[in-house]
Structure 1
C-alpha cells in the first residue's frame, strides 16, 4: 500500500467522522441514531490509528532494509 492510498483512506475516515458528528443528537447522545453515529466515529478513529501505525511500520522497514 503506497503513501497516496493511505492518505486517501485517512481522508475518507475523516469525512466519515464529519458526517457522523452531524448525525449526533447532542441533547440525547446515547439513544437511537446517535449511538450508531458515535460507534461510527470511534471506528473511524480506529481506522485512522491503524493506518498511521501501518505507515510508520513501513518507514521503519525501509530504514532497516537500507541499513542492511
Structure 2
C-alpha cells in the first residue's frame, strides 16, 4: 500500500525505518536516502540527533490484522 503520508513502514526497515519512510513519501529508493544520510554524516551537524528525533516523531505504519 503506497500512501502519501510520512510513516515508518513495517517492512524494509534497517534500523528505525526513517530512511525507508522518507523514501516512500517522496517516491525514491530507500538505498538512495540511506546513502544520502551516510554522506551527510561526513558534514558537521546534528544528523544523528535529527534521525533519532524523526524516529520518535514519525508514526509507524499501522499493522494490518487479518481475521480468518
Q: What TM-score comes out, normalization by structure 1 length?
A: 0.35
Q: What TM-score comes out, normalization by structure 2 length?
A: 0.35
Structure showing the higher helix proportion among its residues: 1
Larger radius of gyration: 1
